[in-house]
A and B are shown apart, each in its own frame.
Chain A
Amino acid sequence: MTTREPSEPQYTLLPHTHVQTGNELGRHQGQDVVCVHDVSFAYDGRPALTHITLHVKQGNTLGIIGPNGGGKSTLMKLMLGSLKPDEGSISILGMSPKEACARGDLVGYVPQRHLLNWSFPITVWQVVQLGLFGQKGLFGRYTRADREKVETTLSAVNILPLANVPIGGLSGGQQQRVFIARALVSTPKLLFLDEPTTGIDQGAQESFAALLEAIKQQYHLTLVMVSHNLRSVIATCDHVACLNQTLHYHDQPHGLSREVLFKVFQCDLDAVLDTHLPTDTCCTPALPALHRPVR
């Protein structure tokens, strides 16, 4: 485990920025859906995260970006209770992550698509229905009310016609919607998404962004999204957290500077900008500091 780096603030302090000191944590916990306070974590002595503090307010969308190996997925696992922090604490809606997830109706999670066995003989309906397990328990049986929930959720993500289709027969975008439906069927308050746009084409990404906004409004969700796709994060998120073992930035996307991005990605900034920024950057008022003509 490393010691705290001296001097540099972990993120830009603006008037609306969440207070990071420990003695004010309790005051903000009632308003914040997610509170990560001074969390550090290491895998077999190799530091993955160092002194991370961030908060997510109800109704906001937080995008977590960073390079591969920067700790994004580790932070998500910590927030889901799959890992325990070596230092610090995490609170989800006033509870520990494990308690919040075990409730079955507070936290939804959309994992990375490649982690699932898509040749498993199971239909879309059955996958989405499994999302109710947390509410039903080990010996629970599904009722008519549960079937209606599944049907409503499938309609909300526009895949009801595919209900009886095996998941192996779906396109990438459809698979992603199945994952979202599974997470939404339990009507959670908080939704975690891990690399939701990986492996889906540009058109599907755009319709995915629209879907995300629609379900956020419909379900009154707070979203936390991990992504390496700057474009989709900047387009969809209220706040951005730039993570590479430490938190380099945590604020609105328009405050993101080239210097911060270079510090986070530790590589040629042109490659990051050309690959990830919209081509009409000059017309995007959110990112004036990052404008660079496309070659």
Chain B
Amino acid sequence: MQEIPLSDLFYYMRYALIVGPVIAAACALLSVFVVLRGMAMISEGVAHAGVGGLAVALLIGFFVPFLDNSLAQQIITCIFCTITALCIGYVTQKKRVSEDSAIGIFLTATLALGILLLAVRHYLHGGGSTPPSLEDLLFGSITSVSQQDAYVAVAICVGVFAIIFSMYHAFIYTALDEDMARINGVPVGLINTLLLVMVSVIIVVSVRMVGLLMINALMIIPGATAKMIARSFGRVLVTSLVVGTLGVAGSLLLAIFMAQHPPMDKYPVGPILVLTQFTVFLVVWIIRQTVKPRVTA
């Protein structure tokens, strides 16, 4: 088989090379708050709710042709995921159901709803978008991202950065001590809602890139890695951004290399992105165990 020229590969992957690091940066920024606030399982629940949201979007698109396009599907999925996240938060707040139980309940229920509705959509004949394959859903397909996806990714990333940095101290205070923040006048409800909305939006956009099963890695590993080595909050943010962004960029370059060397060109890219991040985490963890921390107080 004829080897694909490198320039062709870069051209073919040009949108992926934009979308990947951009989304990784947004994920890495949110990852710090997800990790510090113990929201890792909530983001997992939201990711699984994405299946339900996508199925609902596809069904709506079948009956309402105006909403049968990629952008509308993403918006409907985001709304579905945000509602799921808010429901988890509301049920947990009442204290009759623990957080992990609530997440497990909503995760499985929305996933089951999504699989059922996708089956219904599959058997509906006529027009409408083709539902994604199960493999694409679970493992992602970053090579299929389009120019529109790139615009959406950049816009979302800019939005996430703008929201976080405009209310920077409110987000930190809420993450550090929610009760104290509320007493000091921080609109904790607004901050929590914004965080859930941003997590939902980023997950929906990222699922196409790395897949449902892997997205939580982008939302957890950069923040967890940064927390091990940085002592101040600002440095945690910067470290998380470096780990997340460079990790994904490096993985995409590795994917381009593999595309030129069969049979590696058949390997899915999503797991490579995750394993690269995990390798960085593991190396940092090992170094952290062996290097003594400096005496502080």
B297 x A122 contact (CB < 8 A): no
- Whether B183 lies near A109 (C-beta < 8 A) is yes
Q: Is A255 in the interface zone, CB < 8 Å from B?
A: no
- Are the C-beta atoms of B176 and A82 separated by less than 8 Å? no
Query: Is B167 in contact with A139, judged by CB distance below 8 angstroms?
Result: yes
A184 → chain B closest CB, angstroms: 13
Q: Is the CB of A121 within 8 A of B231?
A: yes
Residue-wise interface mask of B (162-179) relative to A, using a CB-CB cutoff of 8 A (1 in contact, 0 not)? 000011011011011101
Q: Are A102 and B185 in contact (CB under 8 A)?
A: yes
- Roughly how many angstroms separate A106 CA and B156 CA in the complex, as a whole number? 39
Give the complex CA separation of A181 and B212 in angstroms: 45
Q: Which of B273-289 contact A (CB under 8 A)?
A: none
A121–B181 Cα gap in the complex (Å)? 17
Is B132 an interface position by the 8 A CB rule?
A: no
For residue B119, CB closer than 8 A to chain A, the reply is no
Considering only residues 105-124 of chain A, those with a C-beta below 8 Å from chain B are 107, 109, 111, 115-117, 120-123
Shortest 3 CB-CB contacts between residues of A and residues of B: A169-B296, A134-B185, A169-B297
A104-B184, A127-B176, A130-B172 are contacts. A171–B297 as well, Cβ < 8 Å?
A: yes
Contacts of A122 in B (CB 8 A): 172, 176, 232-233
- Cα–Cα, bound, A20→B181 (Å): 33
State which residues 168-201 of B face A: CB under 8 Å: 169-170, 172-173, 175-177, 179-187
CB–CB B181/A123 < 8 A: no
List of A residues within 8 angstroms of B297 by Cβ: 162, 165, 169-171, 174
A80–B185 Cα distance when bound, in Å, is 11
Is the CB of A133 closer than 8 A to any CB of chain B?
yes
Cβ proximity bits A131-175 to B, threshold 8 Å, 1 near / 0 not: 101101111100000000000000000000010111001110010
A169 to B232, CA, bound (A): 12
Cβ of A237 within 8 Å of any chain B Cβ, yes or no, is no
Q: What 1/0 mask marks residues of chain A from 84 to 114 whose CB sits below 8 Å from any chain B CB?
A: 0000000000000000011010010101000
Q: Is the CB of B175 within 8 A of A120?
A: yes
* Complex Cα spacing A80 to B184, Å: 10
Number of A-B contacts (CB under 8 A): 84
Q: Is the interface of B mostly helix, strand, loop or mixed?
A: helix
Q: A121-B230, A139-B167, A174-B297 are in contact. Are A130 and B179 (CB under 8 A)?
A: no
B182, B183, B235 interface centre (most CB from chain A within 10 Å): B183
Does A123 lie within 8 Å of B186, measured CB to CB? no
Taking Cβ atoms with an 8 Å cutoff, the residues of A that contact B are 80-82, 101-102, 104, 107, 109, 111, 115-117, 120-123, 126-127, 129-131, 133-134, 136-140, 162, 164-166, 169-171, 174
Q: Judge whether B231 and A123 touch: CB under 8 Å.
A: yes
CB distance from A105 to the nearest CB of B (A): 11
Beyond A139-B167, A166-B296, A171-B297, is A133–B175 a contact (Cβ under 8 Å)?
no
User: Cβ of B170 and Cβ of A133 under 8 Å apart?
Assistant: yes
- How many angstroms from the CA of A104 to the CA of B184 in the assembled complex? 6
Q: Which residues of A are found within 8 Å of B48, using beta-carbon distances?
A: none
Cα-based distance from A138 to B189 in the complex (angstroms): 13
The answer to whether B183 touches A138 (Cβ under 8 A) is: no
Which chain B residues border A170 with CB–CB below 8 Å? 297
B36 within 8 Å of A by Cβ? Answer: yes
User: How large, as a class, is the contact surface on chain B?
Assistant: 20 to 34
Contact B186 A133 (CB under 8 A): yes
Contacts of A166 in B (CB 8 A): 231-232, 296
**Inter-subunit contact A111/B236 (CB<8 Å):** no
Asked if B208 is at the interface of the complex by the 8 Å CB criterion, the answer is no
Seed contacts A120-B176, A133-B184, A162-B297; 19 additional CB < 8 Å A-B pairs: A81-B183, A82-B179, A104-B184, A111-B179, A116-B176, A116-B177, A117-B177, A120-B175, A121-B230, A123-B231, A126-B172, A127-B176, A130-B169, A130-B181, A133-B181, A138-B167, A165-B296, A165-B297, A170-B297
* B121 CB-CB contact with A under 8 Å: no
14 interchain pairs, CB-CB under 8 A: A82-B182, A101-B184, A101-B185, A109-B180, A111-B180, A117-B36, A121-B36, A122-B176, A129-B169, A130-B172, A130-B176, A136-B169, A138-B170, A165-B296
Bound-state CA distance A238–B153 (Å) is: 61
Give the docked Cα–Cα distance between A164 and B296 (Å): 9
Also in contact, A138 and B173, with CB within 8 A (given A121-B233, A165-B297): no
Nearest B-chain residue to A139, judged by Cβ = B166
Q: How many Å lie between the Cα of A102 and that of B186 in the bound state?
A: 9
Of B172, B173, B182, B297, most buried by chain A (CB within 10 Å of CB) is B297
Contacts of B231 in A (CB 8 A): 121, 123, 166
CB pair B173–A130 under 8 Å, yes or no, is: yes
Q: A133-B169, A138-B170, A162-B297 are in contact. Are A117 and B176 (CB under 8 A)?
A: yes
Q: CA A115 – CA B181 in complex, angstroms?
A: 13
Of residues A102, A104, A130, A137, which shows the largest number of chain B Cβ atoms within 10 Å of its Cβ?
Answer: A130
The answer to whether A133 touches B236, judged by C-beta atoms less than 8 angstroms apart, is: no
Query: B184 touching A130 by the CB < 8 A rule?
Result: yes
In the complex formed, the residue of A with least CB distance to B169 is A133
A102–B167 Cα distance when bound, in Å, is 17
CB distance from A111 to the nearest CB of B (A): 6
Output the residue of A121, A164, A166 with the most chain B CB within 10 A: A121
Closest partner residue, chain B, to A162 (CB atom): B297
